[in-house]
Amino acid sequence: MLERLEGALPGMTRWRVPGGRGVDWGALEAGLGTPLPSDFRSLAEAYPVLVIGDFLTVSLPRPGGEESWAAEGKDDEILQDLYEMEDTEGYVPYPQPGGLIAWAESSSSDVFYWRTTPADPDAWTVVVRTDNADWIEFPVGAVEFLAGVYGHTIAVPGMPGAFPGDAPDVQGLSDRVG
């Protein structure tokens, strides 16, 4: 699946880290309280945080920053507030069963989540909350979702008209922690 994403976004390959980044998955997943999907783990081992088209930031854990990445996944204050206001269309924040964990966000305040059900993380689906307060679920994982969006086979209603664009620039952010 990673190859399909790289095919849709060939500019990302210049940010690939030879030999992997060395994320401590044991610590991250222990702190989060759940394993993460294998496609996302492969992406995070190969790439730093990615910013696509100056619009979408894919939040990949940094080596040494696993604890903070896990904490953010368990304590999403905005999602919790929306849930308490009953503005989540039945979705719940993690760590509730089937709760949402954010893995990307846009510069327009759209948020991209996993729905943590069923028990197998490789079967988790993507849920998008647009800045228009629309909630849309896609029956694919994060990497397949990105490959589909940037390969123009998945459309996300409610996104800006220029999204995803043709051949968007991809920037990799430093792995420095602190």
Q: What is the pLDDT of residues 93-141, one digit of tens each?
A: 999 999 999 999 999 999 999 999 999 999 999 999 999 889 999 999 9
Contact present, 56 and 104 (Cβ < 8 Å): yes
Tokens of 30: 């222990």
At residue 38, what are phi and psi to the nearest 5 degrees? Answer: -65, -30
Confidence of residue 145 (pLDDT cuts 50, 70, 90): very high
Question: Whose structure tokens read 């922690």?
Answer: 177
Q: What is the pLDDT of residue 1?
A: 86
> Domain 2-167 maps to which CATH number in 3.40.1580, 1.10.10, 1.10.540, 1.10.287?
3.40.1580
Helix 142-150 to helix 38-46 angle (10° resolution) is: 70
Domain locations in the chain? 2-167
68 is written with which tokens? 């903070």
Say if residues 23 and 65 touch (Cβ distance below 8 Å).
no
- Residues of the chain with pLDDT > 70: what percent? 98
- Quick check: 49 and 173 in contact, CB under 8 A? yes
Gap between the Cα atoms of 136 and 112, Å rounded:
10
What does each C-alpha distance from 88 to 99, 127, 136 come to in angstroms? 11, 11, 11
